[in-house]
Amino acid sequence: MFVLELTYTAPLDRVDAALEAHVEWLHKEYAAGHFIAAGRKVPRDGGVILAAGIDRATVERIVAEDPFTQAGVCAYRITEFVATTTAPALETYREQLPS
């Protein structure tokens, strides 16, 4: 599983100019089964996305396709972790530690 932390690197007016395309991109990745949650950080200086069921190379490709990345309005920090415990509703995302 991955935590994708976005930090805006441009003024909000430039972020907002790419927002509609970014939301469409999010919907595409939800439909593909790659994302399980996303939202703005508070205060609004970026966002967070939870991604699952894919490898790091795929995550990096997906991040490169984000309209925010392509518009140069954010930087991503990608953190991979093994979700060994989850809430019952997220049980399908539970992972095993590598042996």
| DSSP result, 31-59 | HTT-EEEEEE-SSSSEEEEEE-SS-HHHH
pTM to 2 decimals?
0.94
pLDDT attached to residue 99: 82
Question: Which amino acid, one-letter code, is at 84?
Answer: T
Q: Edge-to-edge strand order for the sheet containing 46-51?
A: 35-40, 46-51, 2-8, 74-80
**Average pLDDT taken over every residue of the chain:** 97
